[in-house]
Amino acid sequence: MTASHKSPAPSSSARRCWARIDLGALAHNARAVAAHIGPRAGILAVVKADAYGHGLAETARTLAPHVRMFGVANLAEARELRAAVPGARVLLLSPALPDEREPVAAEGFEPAISGFAEAAAYSAVTPADHTLRVHLSIDTGMGRMGVAEPEAVEVFRSIRALPRLRVEAVATHLPCADEDEPFTRSQLARFGEILRALRAVDPELPLSHSLNSAGLLAFPDHAPDLVRAGLVLYGVSPLSGFQSRLRPALSMHTRVALVRELAPGSGISYGRTFLTRRPTRAATLCAGYADGYPRHLSGSGASVLVKGTRCPLLGRVTMDQIVVDVTDLPEPVEPGEEAVLLGSQGEAAVTAAELAERAGTIPWEIFTGMQCRDGRVHVGEEFAA
């Protein structure tokens, strides 16, 4: 049998499309969140979906000194995180499948549960010499998981009676903290009333958490124990007023593969949706939707940075290539030069929020959809010690 092996990563000069992750920016953003919420609350860092495309292991090691625990989506992510940060507390934010409950319990991860039946199933598979910490989710308006509000106290009492379980935290989720302040304030007030009722049953209930990134920015006074920081840790604020305190951590880079002179009336890319109106110098770049550059940016007015200048995207985004207009650059562009699809170059910047708006999506999808075929380059390794 032939031994399997991974091909070595291309040298920096040979990379055609890659992401660059600034670990120092991640640490900076964690400190900014901590300063905003104050000393009473800790940070639960959400690192699901490969840390929003930033690399789970490297991101977790960087954030570990700044956070109390981590949140992931599933058992596989929990195991990867624990391997990167031994001993870390890990919350499973999504329901585990029935066959996953036993390893979740045996390996000491902390599941979010939505009712008594789920809790009883965990109790049945938890080893006799273990106490499994669980987070009871209350549905106050998200509609995705959790115990209904009127049933919260009764379910809490029933779960407390189960052997080998401890309700470590009570949580809820905010569906529109960045869009609907009156509803969110009502939701937080109702969750506060539920917490008071539960703590009347168990005065030693350790933790509560309700605030996502938008919530912790807009309602820091509701952060007594933990906040679930996600997007904000990666340097993007869901509320514009906080953006200046953050440093975007991820940028997306590619290279010029070809430069061509096109006559007026030349069609560019599939469908001939763009026709040149003047003599045009067009640069073909080594990136497309297979690398995570959204196809919906086609015809949106999007730009790419070349030599620190915005260059308009021409025609449709294809699987492997895009074409940009470099006619107005004062200096010639040569094959092999670097271009920035997302991030900064010189004084110019293309932000994740801008790309998301033009593509008709959200920054979360921009980050998690990045599949740069030459991988990631993490810089600032001293922050990941």
The model's pLDDT over 166-222, given as tens digits with 9 standing for 90+, comes to: 999 999 999 999 999 999 999 999 999 999 999 999 999 889 999 999 999 999 988
- Regarding whether 314 and 254 lie in a shared domain, the answer is yes
Catalytic residue among 52, 122, 234, 270: 270
Q: Does any domain span residue 73?
A: yes
Tens-digit pLDDT profile for residues 55-114: 999 999 999 999 999 999 999 999 999 999 999 999 999 999 999 999 999 999 999 999
pTM: 0.92
On whether the CB atoms of residues 57 and 84 are closer than 8 A, the answer is: yes
Q: What radius of gyration do the chain's Cα atoms show?
A: 24
Q: Does any domain span residue 210?
A: yes
307 among known catalytic residues: no
Token representation of residue 182 = 């009156």
* DSSP structural state of residue 87: T
Task: Provide the pLDDT confidence category of residue 381 given band limits of 50, 70 and 90.
Answer: low
CA distances 327 to 7, 18, 39, 283, 330, Å, are: 38, 25, 53, 9, 8
For the domain that residue 368 is a member of, what is the CATH number?
2.40.37.10
Kindly provide the residue ranges of all beta strands, DSSP E only, lying in the chain, ordered along the sequence: 17-22, 42-46, 69-72, 90-92, 110-113, 132-139, 147-148, 165-171, 207-209, 226-229, 250-262, 267-268, 274-275, 280-285, 303-306, 309-314, 322-325, 338-345, 348-350, 376-379
Q: How many CA atoms lie within 13 A of 245 on its CB side?
A: 17
Domain boundary, last residue among 181, 212, 235: 235
Contacts of 203 (CB under 8 A, 6+ apart): none
What is the pLDDT, as a whole number, of residue 385? 42
Burial class (CB in 10 A: 0-12, 13-18, 19+), 143: exposed
Q: Does any domain span residue 364?
A: yes
Cα separation of 202 and 208, whole Å?
13
270 among known catalytic residues: yes
Task: Provide the pLDDT confidence category of residue 278 given band limits of 50, 70 and 90.
Answer: very high
Q: Does any domain span residue 50?
A: yes
Domain count, the chain: 2
> Which residue segment(s) compose the domain that 209 sits in?
41-235
Q: Does any domain span residue 151?
A: yes
Catalytic residue among 48, 122, 234, 293: 48
Tens-digit pLDDT profile for residues 209-262: 999 999 999 999 888 799 999 999 999 999 988 999 999 999 999 999 999 999
Token representation of residue 255 = 């290279």
Cα separation of 36 and 232, whole Å?
12
- Regarding whether 197 and 315 lie in a shared domain, the answer is no
Q: Does any domain span residue 10?
A: no
Cα separation of 22 and 59, whole Å?
10
Domain boundary, last residue among 180, 202, 235: 235
